[in-house]
Amino acid sequence: MKKRTSNWIKIGVPVLIVVVIAAVVGGVLGSRAHSNSDASTSGAAAPNSPTGEAAASSAAALKNEIGVYPTATNSLYLLPVYPSTTNTAAFTQPTFHPSDNSSLAWPADPFQPSSPVITTVRPDRPRLIAPSYKWAVLPGLIAADPYLTLWNNTIFGNATEYYSLPPVVYFMDGPSGILDNAREIKMRLKAFSYVYRMTNDTKWVDRAWSEIQNAIGTNFGPNNDTKWNPGHFLDVGEFCAGFAIAYDWLYDQWTDDQKTTIRSSIIQYGLSQGIIAFANSNGQYWGWWAAASTTGNWNCVCNNGLTMASLAIMGDDTSGIVEQTLNLTLPSALAGCANAVTSDGSWSETHAYWHFGTTGHAEMSASMQTATGSDYGMLDSNQNFGLNGVFHMYGDGPGTFFMWGDHGPNRFSTTANGMFLYGDHYNHPEYILHQRDQHDAPEPWSMFWYDPTVSGAFWDNLPLDHFFDDPLTQWASMRSSWTDQNALYVAMKAGKLTGHQTHNDLDLGDFVIDALGTRWAGDLGSADYRSTGYFSSDDQDSLRWLYYRKRSEGQNTILVNEANQLVVAAPTVNHNTSGTVQGSSTVFTPPSDSTAFWTTDISSGYNDTPTFQRGVRMINGRTQILIQDDITSSGAMMWRMHTNASVAVDPSGTSATLTIGSSTLTMQILNPTSDMQMSIGDARRFADDPALPAGETDQDNPGVTVVMINMAAGTKSLQVLFNPQWPGMAASAFQTPPSVPVASWTLESHNSS
Ligand SMILES: *[C@@H]1O[C@H](CO)[C@@H](O)[C@H](O)[C@H]1NC(C)=O
Ligand SMILES: *[C@@H]1O[C@H](CO)[C@@H](O)[C@H](O)[C@H]1NC(C)=O
Ligand SMILES: *[C@@H]1O[C@H](CO)[C@@H](O)[C@H](O)[C@H]1NC(C)=O
Ligand SMILES: *[C@@H]1O[C@H](CO)[C@@H](O)[C@H](O)[C@H]1NC(C)=O
Ligand SMILES: *[C@@H]1O[C@H](CO)[C@@H](O)[C@H](O)[C@H]1NC(C)=O
Ligand SMILES: *[C@@H]1O[C@H](CO)[C@@H](O)[C@H](O)[C@H]1NC(C)=O
Ligand SMILES: *[C@@H]1O[C@H](CO)[C@@H](O)[C@H](O)[C@H]1NC(C)=O
Ligand SMILES: *[C@@H]1O[C@H](CO)[C@@H](O)[C@H](O)[C@H]1NC(C)=O
């Protein structure tokens, strides 16, 4: 069978060619005041500025005057662009403001059962996510809050765009099934349902109905119970969630016949298939996702869809399947989904899959809470779950997120807006403040999860660095600023190579570097999910590890004898930080002694390599980066880094100049031994790599160059210094740090002498 475009092409290229959507964020609110144009180069708070409650109160009062903080969304990375400005009155520490004007806050839910049970739903509709008491006050909150105003407008715009499109066309995408179909339909049904409720215009109900009829029609999938593709159960989960919202939010508008049709579709194509899946959750057939060991997005998305659909039709369907389903989904999600967050807050799959997992988790938690009065432990049974927003925020660099492992399929209805629910529930206002500026914030869930009493700036007093220490997910994040799109950012990982739902790579020591508004060292992301054996296992001999993008040679790390790293690896880590926090201003220059380092012992990931310590650190007030490898090996060694830059290696073979657009970064080997030789090559498998499965090929990596440093066997200290060529920084201002063994690194060990 002929292969279609790879996932990488489908996902990667559109990101590269997105048109500028600047002004979308800023433009809608024409009344942005100029009170925030008081640009300053100091990160310090102005003298006599209010603190605590007084500051929060004044920040809340300024809300409409200031409007939305970012002025635009970066067209390449879709990250917010902040103005260079100090506004000590508004950019205060993140806080909720409970004594705020009550017209700016959600009222308490009148449905407060004293002993909630999942089979007893609230008396009124909607039940799911947005009960009627919230719709009643929403127009007032929209008028009072610039973010809600922006999002409401954007959702109307999006719904208007979808309105004139034909219903989603059925497309079976191999092993990815009809997941894109399901998520696009869910996205549309949410938007149509929202706009109907905000306008009472039944044209939106009619349009939702045509989308529903399409998704159960004779031209959509096979005409039997497998129409929603239960063999790839995520698809069923997302269809169920979309149908549940349409059924519930448009309940008063549906005729009895329409309700019967939606219910019977949910039961035939959704819940009945769920019962079959649970009966096979021991790994056979297609119910593997229901097992307690599936601590990842599949468990979240599938259980959520079945749960939302059950809650939506509860009472109207009396067959018992609703109760039977909820009896299965809730324990499964508490065991699997809720445990996908490790002790340090990391999502155990990857950064990309955090989005899919938390969308399902947040929808399920919120739906049970609103429909029945409790989340039954989804939010709190894993006491670390609330830290997942820290994981998400620190994974975002100014050149997109730390994209280790698979970067996942198209998003559609999947967003980072669980941050609103989590920020509120776990008392992390910075999660909300961070997410409200993001490009994917405008969608119906945000309208109900956002707490408009939040005030401040997420970056105020936020540490520049964070280290994640769970043995499964050790990684580090360090930066020079939270608000400067040109900031320096480096993230590096170790962690176990198994236990990530087969979404990881053999990538101990892998890193990304952002500076000057672009990514200089990056990851290649997913290979083709349809390739033979791609998800077969994470054992050492898995077919997955034959594909270049999953092999160690496809990562930014060191190879010994060109071999893959060992899946039994158990790295250890060490780190320290000056603890620098950004101040209120978006303009921030770290002090010259501001630094951080992270080191890892990854020798257990290698044969023939008794010692291997890799370290990364910020140098010279976070303007330069040093990556050092202290390694002893009896095999030949090769340092590798993947970059989109064009690379010119100096004839000496010890330094290189990297260029992206008009920006330049130089990298240099410090104290090189004579065998250390820098060169460049293509991002593709070695000629003598083990063969790919029959008929398979690696994806091309267009535009990507590998910078290599070859070293002979022996004991080496390879020190690579990265110097982004900052505008206005004199050559003499760059420092050459001293040579210090990784094991002896301290905060002060690399101070200029
Ligand atoms: C609450 O709203 C009233 C009327 O809009 C306004 O006068 C008052 O200052 C507000 N209080 C706070 C704390 O913002
Ligand atoms: C929501 O946005 C639409 C479209 O811009 C607008 O017509 C409507 O008045 C807004 N709703 C509120 C409550 O402001
Ligand atoms: C919604 O509309 C905004 C503004 O036009 C656009 O940037 C965004 O991509 C749309 N989102 C979706 C999911 O269609
Ligand atoms: C829509 O109808 C409901 C119920 O009759 C009413 O409470 C609400 O104000 C109406 N909304 C609009 C925008 O007309
Ligand atoms: C459903 O129909 C499809 C397409 O005709 C067929 O391949 C599949 O085996 C059928 N499934 C069942 C359970 O009958
Ligand atoms: C739900 O589970 C409980 C406890 O296992 C059991 O007693 C009850 O019969 C189940 N209900 C349904 C509808 O399956
Ligand atoms: C190349 O650029 C794309 C788009 O920004 C990015 O996703 C990718 O990670 C970059 N690749 C490398 C190797 O830096
Ligand atoms: C971090 O560095 C500081 C300053 O040198 C030192 O006092 C502290 O003990 C270090 N922390 C750790 C955990 O090593």
pLDDT tens for 104-131 read: 899 999 999 999 999 999 999 999 999 9
* 204-215 confidence digits (pLDDT tens): 999 999 999 999
Question: CB pairs under 8 A, 24+ apart, for 111-119?
Answer: 111/370, 111/373, 112/373, 113/372, 113/373, 113/374, 116/372, 116/373, 116/374, 116/376, 117/372, 118/326, 118/330, 118/368, 118/372, 118/374, 118/376, 119/314, 119/322, 119/323, 119/326, 119/372
- Segment 521-541 shows an average pLDDT of 96
CA of 425 to the centre of ligand 6 (A): 30
CATH number (domain holding residue 273): 1.50.10.100
- Cβ burial of 565 (10 Å; 0-12, 13-18, 19+) is buried
**What is the per-residue pLDDT across 147-186, written as a single tens digit (0 to 9) for each?**
999 999 999 999 999 999 999 999 998 777 999 999 999 9
Of all protein residues, the one whose alpha carbon is nearest to atom 10 of ligand 1 is: 101
| Ligand 5 atom with the shortest distance to the CA of 225 | 13
Q: In this structure, is residue 125 part of a structural domain?
A: no
Domain final residue, candidates 334, 359, 383:
334
| Atom number, ligand 4, closest to the C-alpha of residue 200 | 1
Tally of structural domains, the chain: 2
Choose among 296, 214, 230, 219: nearest CA to 268: 230
The pLDDT confidence band at residue 2, using thresholds 50, 70 and 90, is very low
Q: Which conformational region is residue 622 in: left (phi greater than 0), alpha (psi within -120 to 50 degrees), or beta?
A: left
Rg for the chain, CA atoms, rounded: 26
Global pTM reads 0.93
Find all residues with CB under 8 Å of 260, minimum gap 6, and list them. none
Q: Of 311, 334, 357, which residue sits at a domain end?
A: 334
Q: pLDDT at residue 139 above 70?
A: yes
**Residue 21: band (very low, low, confident or very high) from pLDDT cuts 50, 70, 90:** very low
Q: What is the mean pLDDT of the chain?
A: 92
Ligand lying closest to the C-alpha of residue 645: 7
Ligand nearest to the CA of 198: 4
Q: Cα(5) to centroid of ligand 4, in Å? A: 47
Phi/psi at 147 (5° precision): -70, -45
Ligand 4: distance of its center to the CA of 295 in Å? 42
- Ligand 2 center to 701 CA (angstroms): 44
Question: Mean pLDDT, to the nearest integer, of 40-47?
Answer: 38
498 assigned to some structural domain: yes
Residue 19 placed within a domain? no
Q: Which atom of ligand 3 is nearest to the CA of 155?
A: 1
Q: Residue 40 falls within a domain, yes or no?
A: no
Name the percent of the chain lying above pLDDT 70.
92
Rounded distance from Cα 11 to ligand 4 centre (Å): 40
CATH code for position 495: 2.70.98.70
pLDDT band at 56, cuts 50/70/90? confident
Report percent pLDDT > 90 for the chain.
87
Where is the domain boundary, 288, 311, 334?
334
Tell me, yes or no, whether 637 lies in a domain.
yes
Q: Ligand 6: residues within 6 Å at CB?
A: 320, 323-324, 327
What tens digit of pLDDT does each residue of 329-342 get? 999 999 999 999 99
Residue nearest (by alpha carbon) to ligand 1 atom 11 = 101
The token pair at 487 is: 């900031």
State whether the beta carbon of 153 lies less than 6 angstroms from ligand 2.
yes
Residue 5 has pLDDT above 90, yes or no: no
Q: What is the pLDDT of residues 234-245, one digit of tens each?
A: 999 999 999 999
Residue 462 lies in a domain: no
Instruction: Tell me whether residue 280 is in a domain.
Output: yes
List C-alpha distances in Å: 216 to 172, 180, 208. Answer: 15, 16, 13
Residue 11 binned pLDDT confidence (cut-offs 50, 70, 90): very low
Chain-centroid distance, C-alpha 200: 35
Confidence class for position 753, pLDDT limits 50, 70, 90: low
Give per-residue pLDDT as tens, 671-708: 999 999 999 999 999 999 999 999 999 999 999 999 99
Among the atoms of ligand 2, which is closest to the Cα of residue 155? 2
Is 662 domain-assigned? yes
Domain housing 539: 483-729
Relative to the CA of 21, which ligand 3 atom is closest? 7
C-alpha pair distances (Å), 405 with each of 87, 401, 703: 39, 12, 20
User: What are the b/e assignments for 597-606, b being 16+ CB within 10 Å?
Assistant: bbbbbbbebb
Name 347's bridge partners: 341
pLDDT of residue 281: 79
For 480-513, how does the pLDDT look when each residue is reduced to its tens digit (9 = 90+)?
999 999 999 999 999 999 999 999 999 999 999 9
Ligand 5 geometric centre to CA of 375 (Å):
37
pLDDT of residue 35: 31
